[in-house]
A = this chain, B = another copy of it.
């Protein structure tokens, strides 16, 4: 039975050579770690935002709600593709929808997403 050394073991060795009191540093690094839930929640939002088409949808919704067929025009993509993107945005809690007759209208769920879009744009410019 070959025993693969547990991933961070060599790293802990390295820290031992880098600091006088590696234990304290390690403890500090491990304590400030956010919860799995928090991180997963944030990641889910960023994943939903990490797609050109979905960003275009949100941008279109900045001014007003849109029905599905309007967003098809915005994306210039097949209906099923657009619908799938909209579902992902809904699942991520970024948009809401209402039905009116055979039309579905989509709108931004939380205007804070505009903050995310604008900040990402700013970060991009700085780089």
A interface bracket (residues with beta carbon within 8 Å of B): 35 or more
Which residues on the B side are within 8 Å of A113 (C-beta)?
123
Contact B56 A93 (CB under 8 A): no
Contact B127 A15 (CB under 8 A): no
Partner of A117, one of B42, B112, B115: B42
A20 at the interface (CB under 8 A from B): no
Known contacts A110-B127, A112-B119, A124-B42; A14/B52 CB under 8 A: no
A98 at the interface (CB under 8 A from B): no
User: A49 vs B41: C-alpha distance in the bound complex, in angstroms?
Assistant: 12
**Chain A to chain B contacts (Cβ below 8 Å), 15 pairs:** A7-B79, A14-B69, A15-B69, A29-B66, A29-B74, A41-B120, A42-B121, A43-B50, A45-B120, A45-B124, A46-B46, A46-B50, A112-B119, A115-B115, A115-B119
